[in-house]
A and B are shown apart, each in its own frame.
Chain A
């Protein structure tokens, strides 16, 4: 067990050393502040580390990660993150990223008792499943159903984020945009979610729409 801990402590030494070797000023500059352009709301899942999979570097992405990348309207935790990122850091884009093979989405396909905490947290996702029962039943297997639930959950999250007062103001005043993504774990690739209402059905974000 201590091996596991030694590994990340050693990993950090390597990181600090190599970063300084590349540019001795990196940490001095980092200490001066951050100006990320993107707020990422993603899943806590260890297989979706945003900075790695987007090939970015420290300072690029402001991050909130929770179980199944949920954005519940009554959650102060995510609301505080959105408020800080949008009102104070003035990020330009908010991204909500779900993923395939998501344990939370999978657990939401049924009503197994996960304990009161997780049951309550996943309740809105299970509600989404109930609401889209007919559509989900058409799909081939649970894998496909979980992916669809993840997509629906991202779209739901986008709706909630867009209602956040600071987000509404930033959308109006400075063109902040909100996007949905799905990360496909077996492929290692990001896919932009088709938000038909916002884009008129083309799926891909284009500047003309904003």
Chain B
């Protein structure tokens, strides 16, 4: 059983936020918000009705319950492509939880709820760990001996793109750095340490820089506004714009942002190629190879920007050669 929550923040006024419940392989049930307050940026509570698409497949009783959309979201601990044995246990109690009214602010009941929702993460993690051990008794023992990931992933901090989940990889397979708008700045000790460690100590074979369409960081960078501490970080994206000003200025609307997302990935790939670690390792070992990808929310697919790595390296080394 699983659940999805449409983001109430992004919905237009007048439309209704909806929550869908999935029970086993049965037909989804839709919960709809019946109060406009659900549409406010930080919805307090919403009265939800269960609207069964077909009633015969449902084991849930028909009921109305007051819930916060956030609370539902917080409780939907599932992996999108998990097997049935992987089904989150907490959903077994959804009917019970949904029937409870939202506790009053500062009440004893609220404290209890906060404690329980906090403890759930730990119980959920414990359950996951036990499942792994059943599937493979040596799983954690093997992991504790060390890591030998083939990939370094440099991606955006955005919560919707957990690298291992969208590539179907498990623990131990991908070394990961994530920051605002997947930037690789040559004076940033943080990302430079990651590249250094991944290349020189873990000997990764591939480095993937992955951006995504609709990136909030890229949009923020193009906003004519003082964003305080974010200014110097996002300045790097404005520099990418300036480098490709002609091409970008010829594009209208959202497509312009999409292209800036792609060009930003390409520039960050170049920045990875500029490092001594990558140049040195490639000369000596023939790896790592650098790739530029973009994740699209429309279909959940990765788009390969098809960088010609050798050509990029050659071009970069005309000026940034660090191998001699």
Q: How far is the CB of A2 from chain B (nearest CB, A)?
A: 9
Instruction: Convert B161-179 into 0s and 1s, putting 1 for each residue whose CB lies closer than 8 angstroms to a CB of A.
Output: 1111111111111111111
Contact A118 B206, beta carbon cutoff 8 Å = no
Q: What residue in chain B is nearest A61 (Cβ atoms)?
A: B159
Q: How far is the CB of B104 from chain A (nearest CB, A)?
A: 14
| A-contact 0/1 string along B271-297, CB 8 Å cutoff | 000000000000000010101000001
Q: How many A-B residue pairs have CB under 8 A?
A: 307
Given the contacts A34-B160, A76-B233, A103-B197, A1 and B126 also touching, CB distance less than 8 Å: no
Query: Which residue among B70, B126, B193, B301 has the maximum number of chain A CB atoms within 10 Å of its CB?
Result: B193
Known: A66-B193, A75-B190. A15 touches B300 (CB 8 A): yes
The docked-state distance in angstroms from the alpha carbon of A26 to that of B7 is 11
With A5-B206, A29-B6, A46-B176 in contact, do A57 and B77 touch (Cβ < 8 Å)?
Answer: yes
Interface size class of B (residues with CB under 8 A): 35 or more
Nearest A residue to B187 by beta-carbon distance? A76
Least Cβ–Cβ distance between B27 and chain A, in angstroms: 12
Q: Is the CB of A190 within 8 A of B299?
A: no
Of the candidates B8, B70, B194, the one whose C-beta lies within 8 Å of that of A44 is B194
B13 at the binding interface (Cβ < 8 Å): no
A8/B205 in contact, CB under 8 A: no
Q: Mark A8-32, 1 if CB is under 8 A from B, else 0.
A: 1111111110111011011111111
Q: How far is the CA of A51 from the CA of B161 in the complex (A)?
A: 10
A190 touches B194 (CB 8 A): no
- B10 engages A53 (CB within 8 Å): no
Also in contact, A81 and B180, with CB within 8 A (given A20-B299, A22-B2, A35-B7):
yes
* Binary flags per residue of A116-150, CB closer than 8 Å to B gives 1, else 0: 01101110000000000000000000000000000
Cβ of A45 < 8 Å from any Cβ of B? Answer: yes
Smallest Cβ distance from A135 to chain B, in angstroms? Answer: 24
Among A33, A44, A84, A186, chain B packs the most CB atoms within 10 A around the CB of A44
Q: Among B111, B125, B171, B176, point to the contact of A207 (Cβ < 8 A).
A: B111
If A4-B205, A55-B77 touch, whether A189 touches B166 (CB-CB below 8 Å) is: no
Q: Are the C-beta atoms of B164 and A49 separated by less than 8 Å?
A: yes
A15 CA / B296 CA spacing, docked (Å): 13
Query: Could you give 26 example pairs across A and B, Cβ below 8 Å?
Result: A5-B206, A8-B169, A9-B304, A18-B81, A19-B80, A28-B297, A37-B73, A44-B197, A46-B173, A48-B171, A49-B163, A53-B125, A53-B128, A56-B77, A58-B80, A72-B190, A75-B189, A76-B229, A78-B190, A80-B230, A83-B228, A84-B157, A103-B201, A190-B125, A206-B115, A207-B111
Report, nearest first, the 5 A-B pairs whose CB atoms are least far apart. A11-B168, A188-B129, A51-B162, A32-B10, A31-B297
Chain B contacts to A: CB under 8 angstroms = 2, 4-11, 20, 22, 28, 42, 70, 73-74, 76-81, 88, 110-111, 114-115, 118, 121-122, 124-129, 132-133, 139-141, 143-144, 146-147, 149-151, 157-180, 183, 185, 188-194, 196-198, 200-201, 205-206, 208, 214, 216-217, 220, 228-230, 232-234, 287, 289, 291, 297-302, 304
